[in-house]
Structure 1
């Protein structure tokens, strides 16, 4: 089951084919081939701020099971 890499909750919903949203901390995850490929924070105005440098450093990607 998918867990948020930021707040570790299971409160995640699907918003697109490969996109998920955490209702606990308001981040959007993009998953490709079973790995998180990008993480963005959804701002109050609806814009996205990349969090890749915090969670996906050095090109490593977390493996997840859907």
Structure 2
């Protein structure tokens, strides 16, 4: 899988269909082949970054 933000492959699995990019520190979750991209805030909450990427950019690339 490639990160839609940095195009890196340094992705770790943190849960069921949940991943973390160790290059740019964002959380990814897969939903039907489309990645939902989130930034982890200081308080542990997630902020969506989906509006920064087109749906084509968020397609899971294995």
TM-score where L is the length of structure 1: 0.75
- Deviation, 1:21, is 0.4
- Deviation, 1:35, is 2.0
TM-score where L is the length of structure 2: 0.79
Question: What is the aligned residue count?
Answer: 61
Alignment correspondent of 2:17: 18
Judge conservation of contact 2:2–2:61 (CA < 8 Å) in 1: no
Could you say which structure has the higher helix fraction?
A: 1
Structure 1 unmatched runs, 5+: none
Paired residue secondary structure (2:15): coil
Aligned CA RMSD, in angstroms, stands at 1.6
Structure 2 unmatched runs, 5+: none
